[in-house]
Amino acid sequence: MTAIERYAAPQNLDEALGILQQGEVTILAGGTDLMPQTKAGRIAFKPTLMNIGRIAGLKGVTLDGEHLRIGALTTISELLRDPLVAQHAAVLAEACDHFASDQIRNAGTLGGNINNASPAGDTLVPLIVLDAEVELASKPNGSVATRRMPLAEFFTGPGRTKRAANELLTAVRIPLPKPGHVARFYKFGTRPALDISTISIGIAGIKRDGALTDTRVAFGAVAPTPVRAPRTEAALEGRRLDAAAIEAAADAARDEVNPIDDVRASAWYRKELIHNMTRRMLDHVAHA
Amino acid sequence: MNVAEKPVIAPDSLIGQRIQKKDAPEKAAGKTRYIQDMVVPGMLHAKILRSSRVHARIKSIDTSAAKALPGVHVVLTAADVPDQQPIGVARDHLPLKGERVRSQRDEIAAVAADSEEIAEAALKLIRVEYEDLPVIATPEDAIKPGAPLIHPAPLDADGRPQALPPKTPIAFAGKADNIAMRFDYTHGDIAQAEAESDVVVEDTFQLHYVTHCCMGVSGVIAEFDASGNLLMYSNTQVPFLHKREFAEYLNIDPSRVRIIQPPIGGGFGSKLDIYPFEVICIFLARAAKRPVKMVFTREEEFLASPTRQPVLLTLRSGCKKDGTLTFRQVHTLHDNGAYTSWGATTPFVMMQTFSSLYRVPACDYHTTVVYTNNPYAGSFRGYGNLQATFAIEQHMDMLAEKIGMDPLDFRLMNAQDAGEVTGQGMTFKSCGFKECLTTAAERSEYRKKHADNLANRDAPGPVKRGIGIASMLHVGGGAKIYPSDGCGTILKLDDFANVTLITGASEIGQGSETVLSQLVCEELGLPISAVTVVNNDTAITPWDVGVHASRTTFIAGNSAIGAARKAKAKILAAAAKKHGCDEVELDLRGGFVIRADSGEPLVELARLMRNLHFSDKAELVMTTFYYEPPSVHQDKAFKGDVSAAYAWAAQVVEVEVDTDTGIVKMTKVTGTHDVGRVLNRLGLEGQIEGGVVMGQGYALTENLIVENGITRNPNFRDYKLVTAPEIPEMDITFVESMDGEGPQGAKGVGEAPAICIAAAAANAIYNATGVRIFALPFTPEAVYRALRGAAPKPHWQAWKPE
């Protein structure tokens, strides 16, 4: 049974943050996670339901100095078609191409995918390897305050983040890639469409003289949150991508993750996939 | 042999054409009114409270709070319906459970309310106290000595077995063991055949749970009129059998039960039995004195509609060095679940496949069906044949490899010809078996690819290619499992030469309306648009056994042709009389009575019809016909020619196996079906393509995960139906063996295309990787485990009760 007492549809950020500050608010954007989860009883509506869909300032992709800034309300379909994303964060668009179905992509937003904080969230792993930050706004004492945080540090558990109850995730900022930047994403599902990741892998870095530096490796669906893989990164950092380095990195990746058994896969199989597909992706990076 | 000559097809003939399904525009436009869309004035909405335990004694049920909720009209438990009778083939299943729940799906209470939301809220107010009982989660556990009984005999107040009259159903009398059914069949001398064998292979195969996933979930509306007559709007596939059974449960005359079928959103066998929800809905309507509608949610459909029969199967097969098959010995253990539905009777079909798919000199077949606390299996397209074929066709490849023979040659050597009678007494009249094998093999370049893939097995790269072949035998001319396998037709022509075809055969999406119309038009020389089909009301339509056993085109088709021919004779006689000629000189074509020799039109049929009607000696063209196929009921040893015709197919499956992930991609399916004769080419292709995809799902993706009696994935997110990008390229061709008894030479094909895909996929994976997998499904993790040697081979010590 729903317990919504008030519906709010603010037109601007200031108004939205004011409503949030009053407390007990459920935020609605695309609704593609919120609706099924409330229906299934996994989350309960708070007394105020706030639809942020009319806040124009939360939409769109722009260049902001040395950063690509993606508004939280940008839909997955818009990310797929956006020329700036294609130019500066192609791996994010690639992940969006494996995201649910067209209908869900048309409604679901980037901010929603991040705040849903699923360990299998499709955009999270590529954003982490792109060093994305989230921008959080609040209005604690009458004026708007903003803070930023690396996405890799944002998640605290399944469905849980460091966003405070009075904060709204307004945008994602991605540093523009440096020369030689490569990034790859792989999602394993048992079918090509409409699937939840069994595991996902993101790899990025600066490739120079056959070696990776500034290496970023992240995995989805192998822990309570999407995770960076520091030992795998260390195994790769600065090393020439030859067969031995790739195998060492793949081994490190398998040892580093600690997935669970569930209805989609066993922990053992997830570790095997992490190993085999990290190796395959690094092979591709090496030969690209 | 009984093969008809293939006639020269007239240019305006509808036979073999691509005819759009008659219901396609309605469905494509979203205008079809399914039971979900139906609103009956005064109707209430019903929901069922199901068990939250797998196996438990019910200590108490408190419905007082639910009854007090505004908008609730009726709340029923077993105590409120002391007259309820057990349902199902073994009469072991009471619709509402009062004393004990035996599976997660079990119905404890039901609510009828003003809305679904209120009914749902009322369910949450019902308090049930349970006392858990030990769970039997596997069939192996069910047959262990001292295993807890699923249906123990009830005890009297002193704890002694109650004295009950003989023939008391299991639901009241209990069962002293967990054995629900057993089947034992044999032909030939197994010992001698084994002694003559040069090679014997023995393996255990494990077949899993899948479910139908009809787009249209289960649903029913029940209402009683003021005289106590029951009207049901039902998705059933067997309206006439249900009419009789419901009358029995309600202790009323069957003439007082009328069943109307709204358009059915898929059946595939799932709507072939009576289920508790239907009886409960009737009870609610009776108590509420209002129409009551009950429609499942998708989750409920996964939990409480039947599954395909899971099977543990040990097969021994033998052959001689020259390639002659010698024997098959089979033991299976069927997990019956807690109650008995049609899944338990799949051995009827399985044993036909073991005894008669290829020449089998000796066959020994045993099935033990045992009660567990798992979901129960029903009938599902193929009816045990997918399971049997999965084992047989892998052994065909394995035997061929052992004797160093090409797997196609080995099959051709043992495949039967028309005129042969199998050990089980099936007489193969028309038979295109060998042609199916050779056509599918040639079109797919099976031999070349098979050899190439073997040569490339150890080539570098993670992706391996494989090709596999399998064939199938199924009934194609009905199946005489009841005393009758017939179907009736009433046909009438109106003043405008439009035909109303009233047939007992139900349309469940398979295309029967279209193909029956075609057969009638072929006789009467009318366009398909001239036919209106009435097929969904037991108060109007004549008797039919139901939609099962791939029988409708064959049985209802012959019935429709019979009625049309009688109408044609009547029309030609009238025309001959009017025009002063002999009726044998006349024919019907293009909406006219024509001269048979010259084709010259004599009179427009519509005009002739009006002349017949508007006269003081008015005569109507109304005919009836009842067709009963010349098949026989099996004897007590399961022998006899149970179908009027048999159908074959060979399918070649090509795969790519990613050895890094275990993903098996089905790239191409080449299928050749002996359909007797192509009637509606478009419908046939559609039915085969759909069946191939269903077989693909069985082989690769679909898996209803049941752990300790709990269904873990009752949703489309985790129960993986094949999606569009996974569907392989298909090359579908037909062998026209022109069956002498079939309508225009045709045979049934409804179940055929799903049957051998899994077997062919297993052979293809072996061809690609050298690893043979004996358990379905071939999900990525299962395949990956097998490739890494980390999948234990299914094992079962073949067993049957003494």
- When pLDDT is averaged across residues B597-611 and rounded to a whole number, the result is 95
The distance of B71 to chain A (nearest Cα, Å) reads 16
- When pLDDT is averaged across residues B365-390 and rounded to a whole number, the result is 98
Longest dimension (CA), chain B: 89
The distance of B674 to chain A (nearest Cα, Å) reads 32
Q: Is B462 touching A (CB cutoff 8 A)?
A: yes
Q: Kindly tell me if the per-residue pLDDT of B256 is higher than 80.
A: yes
Which of B206, B251, B182 has its CA nearest to residue B799?
Answer: B182
Determine the residue among A191, A247, A262, A271 to mutate to test chain B binding: the one whose Cβ has the most chain B Cβ atoms within 10 Å: A191
CB contact under 8 A, B661 and A265: no
The distance of B640 to chain A (nearest Cα, Å) reads 45
CB contact under 8 A, A190 and B780: yes
Q: How many CB atoms lie within 10 A of CB B700?
A: 28
In this predicted model, which residue has the larger pLDDT, B502 or A194?
B502
- When pLDDT is averaged across residues B727-751 and rounded to a whole number, the result is 98
Q: Which DSSP string do the residues of B73-122 spell out, in sequence order? A: EEEEEGGG-TT---BTTTT-B-SS-SSEE-STT-EEEEEEESSHHHHHHH
| Position B202, amino acid | E
CA dihedral A270, A276, A282, A287 (to 10 degrees): -150
Contacts of A267 in chain B (CB under 8 A): none
Over residues B530-567, the pLDDT tens digits come to 999 999 999 999 999 999 999 999 999 999 999 999 99
**What is the torsional sign of CA B337, B343, B345, B348?**
negative
CA dist A79 and A92 (Å) reads: 8
Query: How is domain A182-287 classified at the architecture level of CATH?
Result: 2-Layer Sandwich (3.30)
**What is the torsional sign of CA B563, B565, B571, B577?**
negative
CATH 3.30.43 location in chain A: 6-51
Q: Is B778 touching A (CB cutoff 8 A)?
A: no
Q: Kindly tell me if the per-residue pLDDT of B597 is higher than 60.
A: yes
Which of A247, A244, A219, A248 has its CA nearest to residue A235?
Answer: A248
Task: Please measure the distance between the N-terminal and C-terminal CA atoms of chain B and give it in whole angstroms.
Answer: 40
Nearest CB partner across the interface for A191, out of B705, B713, B726 = B726
Nearest CB partner across the interface for B718, out of A188, A264, A269 = A264
Q: Is B727 touching A (CB cutoff 8 A)?
A: no
Contacts of A268 in chain B (CB under 8 A): 790
CA dist B553 and B173 (Å) reads: 42
In this predicted model, which residue has the larger pLDDT, B252 or B783?
B783
* Contact predicate B688/B647, CB 8 Å: no
Q: Is B663 touching A (CB cutoff 8 A)?
A: yes
CB contact under 8 A, B663 and A190: yes
* Contact predicate B743/B762, CB 8 Å: no
Determine the residue among B710, B784, B788 to mutate to test chain A binding: the one whose Cβ has the most chain A Cβ atoms within 10 Å: B784
Determine the residue among A104, A272, A283 to mutate to test chain B binding: the one whose Cβ has the most chain B Cβ atoms within 10 Å: A272
Nearest CB partner across the interface for A190, out of B121, B701, B788 = B701
DSSP B36: G
Q: Which residue is listed with tokens 């997998």?
A: B773
Q: How many CB atoms lie within 10 A of CB B645?
A: 28
Give the pLDDT score at A1.
Answer: 46
CB contact under 8 A, A277 and B660: yes
Q: Is B298 touching A (CB cutoff 8 A)?
A: no
pLDDT band at B762 (very low <50, low <70, confident <90, very high): very high
CATH 3.30.465.10 location in chain A: 56-175
Nearest CB partner across the interface for B725, out of A193, A196, A276 = A193
Q: Kindly tell me if the per-residue pLDDT of A129 is higher than 50.
A: yes
CA dist B624 and B562 (Å) reads: 8
Q: What percent of chain B has pLDDT over 90?
A: 95
CB contact under 8 A, A1 and B121: yes
Q: For residue B440, what are its two tokens?
A: 């599918």
Contacts of B661 in chain A (CB under 8 A): 188, 273, 276-277
CA dist B775 and B137 (Å) reads: 18
Q: For residue A155, what are its two tokens?
A: 């998640």
Cα three-residue angle B539-B542-B544, rounded to 5 degrees: 115
CB contact under 8 A, B723 and A191: yes
Q: What distances in angstroms separate CA B311 from CA B268, B344, B368, B802, one per listed residue?
A: 19, 10, 10, 20
Q: Kindly tell me if the per-residue pLDDT of A158 is higher than 90.
A: yes
Q: Which residue is listed with tokens 């939205």?
A: A16
pLDDT band at B686 (very low <50, low <70, confident <90, very high): very high
Residue of A nearest to B121 (CA): A1
CB contact under 8 A, A269 and B718: no
The distance of B221 to chain A (nearest Cα, Å) reads 26
Residues of A engaging B, defined by a Cβ cutoff of 8 Å: 1, 188, 190-196, 263-266, 268-269, 272-273, 276-277, 280
Residue of A nearest to B791 (CA): A269
- When pLDDT is averaged across residues B349-376 and rounded to a whole number, the result is 98
Contacts of B713 in chain A (CB under 8 A): 263
Give the pLDDT score at B163.
Answer: 85
Q: Is B712 touching A (CB cutoff 8 A)?
A: yes
Residue of B nearest to A266 (CA): B781
In this predicted model, which residue has the larger pLDDT, B693 or A41?
B693
Average pLDDT score, chain B: 96
Give the pLDDT score at A2.
Answer: 57
Residue of B nearest to A100 (CA): B717
Q: Kindly tell me if the per-residue pLDDT of B729 is higher than 90.
A: yes
Q: What distances in angstroms separate CA A49 from CA A25, A42, A74, B771, one per listed residue?
A: 6, 17, 20, 56
Q: How many CB atoms lie within 10 A of CB B62?
A: 14
In this predicted model, which residue has the larger pLDDT, A39 or B125?
B125
Q: How many CB atoms lie within 10 A of CB B398?
A: 17
Determine the residue among B120, B124, B660, B693 to mutate to test chain A binding: the one whose Cβ has the most chain A Cβ atoms within 10 Å: B660
The distance of B770 to chain A (nearest Cα, Å) reads 21
* Contact predicate B331/B799, CB 8 Å: yes
For B326, list phi and psi in degrees, rounded to 5.
Answer: -115, -45
The distance of A188 to chain B (nearest Cα, Å) reads 9
Q: Is B299 touching A (CB cutoff 8 A)?
A: no
* Contact predicate B307/B704, CB 8 Å: yes
CB-count exposure of residue B378 (10 Å: 0-12, 13-18, 19+): buried
CA dist B265 and B57 (Å) reads: 37
pLDDT band at B615 (very low <50, low <70, confident <90, very high): confident
Contacts of A194 in chain B (CB under 8 A): 723
CA dist B695 and B265 (Å) reads: 19
- When pLDDT is averaged across residues B291-304 and rounded to a whole number, the result is 97
> How many contacts (CB atoms, under 8 Å) link A and B?
43
Q: Secondary structure of chain A in the HEC alphabet?
A: CCCCCEEECCCCHHHHHHHHHCCCEEEECCCCCHHHHHHCCCCCCCCEEEECCCCHHHCCEEEECCEEEEECCCEHHHHHHCHHHHHHCHHHHHHHCCCCCHHHHHHCEHHHHHHHCCCCCCCHHHHHHCCCEEEEEECCCCCCEEEEEEHHHCEEECCEECCCCCCEEEEEEEECCCCCEEEEEEEECCCCCCCCCCEEEEEEEEEECCEEEEEEEEEECCCCCCEECHHHHHHHCCCECCHHHHHHHHHHHHHHCCCCCCCCCCHHHHHHHHHHHHHHHHHHHHHC
* Contact predicate B271/B508, CB 8 Å: yes
Q: Which domains does chain B have, with CATH numbers?
A: 44-175 (3.90.1170.50), 212-304 (3.30.365.10), 311-479+635-787 (3.30.365.10), 486-627 (3.30.365.10)
Q: Kindly tell me if the per-residue pLDDT of B158 is higher than 90.
A: no
CATH 3.30.390.50 location in chain A: 182-287
Contacts of A269 in chain B (CB under 8 A): 781, 784-785
CB contact under 8 A, A269 and B784: yes
Contacts of B705 in chain A (CB under 8 A): 263
**CA A119 and chain centroid, separation:** 9
CA dist B491 and B623 (Å) reads: 5
Over residues B503-528, the pLDDT tens digits come to 999 999 999 999 999 999 999 999 99
CB contact under 8 A, A193 and B663: no
Contacts of B785 in chain A (CB under 8 A): 269
**A6-51 adopts what CATH topology?**
3.30.43
Residue of B nearest to A276 (CA): B660
The distance of B349 to chain A (nearest Cα, Å) reads 32
Which CATH code, of 3.30.465.10, 3.30.2010.10, 3.40.50.300, 3.40.718.10, is assigned to A56-175?
3.30.465.10
pLDDT band at A3 (very low <50, low <70, confident <90, very high): confident
